[in-house]
Amino acid sequence: MISGPPGSGKSTYAKRLAEDLGLSYYSTGTIFRSLARERGLSLAEMSRLAEEDPRIDLEIDRRTLGVASRGGVVIDSHLAAWLLKDTAHYLVLVKAPMWVRVRRIARRDGVTLRRALVETLEREWSQRMRFKRYYGIDVTDTTIFHLIVDTSRYGVEDTYRLVLEGARRRGL
């Protein structure tokens, strides 16, 4: 399980870890983006819709729990770490300062820094409020994680080595 805020690198590391360990890869963010595209909404707009309609998050979480229960998967998700904290073998939190994450998001999505910043702030606030309201989860409580890495402090390869080494130490 690789968790982290938008732009922290969770997808990068989760995909690679899944490949190296011979596991499947599952991303709740991909599902959320797909649902937004189907509705013709930006991620910020989709987050606002999810604030009004809990069925969106509940459906994503239902699917994620089903995938996790089958095992053999690396999950890339902001919330699922808290939902699966008692059953997941390895919980990693990747993080980075806001300015680093916004630059990454702007580059990835082909948008301006300003737009990336506004949408990221909106998404994070929305997620924090929804997770607290729907599940009583405080996403600022990081005590559940086996490893926490600031991805801005190391290069991609060094960060990945830390993640992989932690997985191997946990018997994966």
**54 annotated among ligand-binding-site residues:** no
Query: pLDDT (tens digit, 9 = 90+) per residue, 63-108?
Result: 899 999 999 999 999 888 998 999 999 999 999 999 999 999 999 9
SS3 155: coil
Q: In angstroms, how far is the first alpha carbon of the chain from the final one? A: 12
Q: What is the pTM of this model?
A: 0.88
d(C-alpha 94, C-alpha 10), whole Å: 6
Q: For residue 90, which of 11, 17, 12, 15 has the smallest C-alpha distance?
A: 17
What single-letter amino acid sits at 148? I
Query: Residue 31 pLDDT more than 90?
Result: no
Query: pLDDT (tens digit, 9 = 90+) per residue, 49-71?
Result: 988 998 988 888 888 999 999 99
**5 annotated among ligand-binding-site residues:** yes
Pick the CATH number of 2-166 from 3.40.50.360, 3.30.70.330, 1.20.1510.10, 3.40.50.300: 3.40.50.300
Instruction: Tell me if 85 sits within 8 A of 165, measured CB to CB.
Output: no
Q: In whole numbers, what is the pLDDT of the chain averaged over residues?
A: 93
Query: pLDDT (tens digit, 9 = 90+) per residue, 13-22?
Result: 999 999 999 9
**8 annotated among ligand-binding-site residues:** yes
**12 annotated among ligand-binding-site residues:** yes
**97 annotated among ligand-binding-site residues:** no
What single-letter amino acid sits at 74? V
Q: How many CB atoms lie within 10 A of CB 108?
A: 12
Where do the structural domains in the chain lie, given as residue ranges? 2-166
Query: Residue 43 pLDDT more than 90?
Result: no
- pLDDT of 47 reads 84
CA angle 84, 143, 159 (to 5 degrees): 85
